[in-house]
Amino acid sequence: MPPKSSGWWGKRRQTKQVWFWIMINPGDVISYIEMCSEEGVNLQRGMNYHLRGDISVILMSLRPNAPYADKVEEDGKILIYEGHDAPKTQDTPIPKIVDQLIYNPGGSLNQNGLFYKTAERYKRSKQNPELVKVYEKLHRGIWVYNGVFKLIDTWKEESNDRKVFKFKLELTENTLIYDDNHQKESVLEHNRLIPPQVKLEVWKRDKGKCVKCGSTNNLHFDHIIPFSKGGSSLVADNIQLLCARHNISKGDRIE
């Protein structure tokens, strides 16, 4: 194998980067299967510390019947994610009425604990925040990739007479891509989280189809006026569903 500094290696990595960039972008609508294939595992739980290498993955939902009180703040730059309940057992028949925990019964840290310790470490050092990929449930079997966030804060708070964990995540300006060794690298990309209620409104208005051709495959939440040109993420009027083909052709025209 040639040394990493050679042109051959650089070129190959470049190709791979572009491929990953096309595979998944913030705002992409994907099926549950596609989400699992992107992460290389069958995603069963909401919090996944260091799922692949040192990247964590969380699943969120702000649908009316969602199990946890996740929130989007500051124009889509900040996500407040609620920790998860103790598992349902004989001793804990109703997890929703007991405090959330940071330890498993055996004494090891559970997912709350792993995220909590990492966020606490970042609060002390202000270095190397945990990077977290966030997926949001839009409908049954339909998910949106929201991008890569930094885990920057954590705390406990009272909620309905019990203690829950909260995690504060900040959207990065970068989108994550991987080289052949699954080392993370990044590309500058200005993005903003489209608030969940706006996504739902657009999804219903556009009937889950590309507004140009009616395709239901490879959909993406597109800013009609790009965020970088002053377009808003906060109003459905500036967001539309486009398939990958029409999203890419639009990009060519703007650049």
What's the residue count for the chain?
A: 255
Minimum CB separation from Zn ion for residue 34, in Å?
18
Strand partners, 240: 222
Least distance (Å) between residue 206 CB and Zn ion: 11
Give dist(CA 134, CA 149) in Å, integer.
7
Q: Smaller CB distance to Zn ion: residue 213 or 225?
A: 213
User: Could you list the residues that contact Zn ion (CB under 5 A)?
Assistant: 210, 212-213, 215, 243, 246
The least CB distance from residue 220 to Zn ion, in Å, is 10
CA-CA-CA-CA dihedral for 6, 7, 10, 15, to nearest 10: -150
Give residue 60's Cα distance to chain centre.
8
Nearer to Zn ion, 205 or 212 (CB): 212
> Cα angle vertex 47, ends 42, 48, to 5°?
55
Residue 233 class from Cβ within 10 Å (0-12 exposed, 13-18 middle, 19+ buried)? Answer: buried
**Strand 239-243 to 219-223 pairing:** antiparallel
Least separation in angstroms between residue 240's CB and Zn ion is 11
CB of 241 to Zn ion, least distance (A): 9
- For Zn ion, the closer of residues 15 and 217 by Cβ is 217
> What's the CA gap between 177 and 21, in Å, rounded?
7
**Encoded amino acid at 238, one letter:** N
The residue among 152 and 248 lying less far from Zn ion, judged by its C-beta, is 248
> Min. distance of Cβ 200 from Zn ion in angstroms?
21
Closer residue to Zn ion, CB minimum distance, 51 or 248: 248
Query: Do 51 and 57 meet the contact criterion of CB atoms below 8 Å apart?
Result: yes
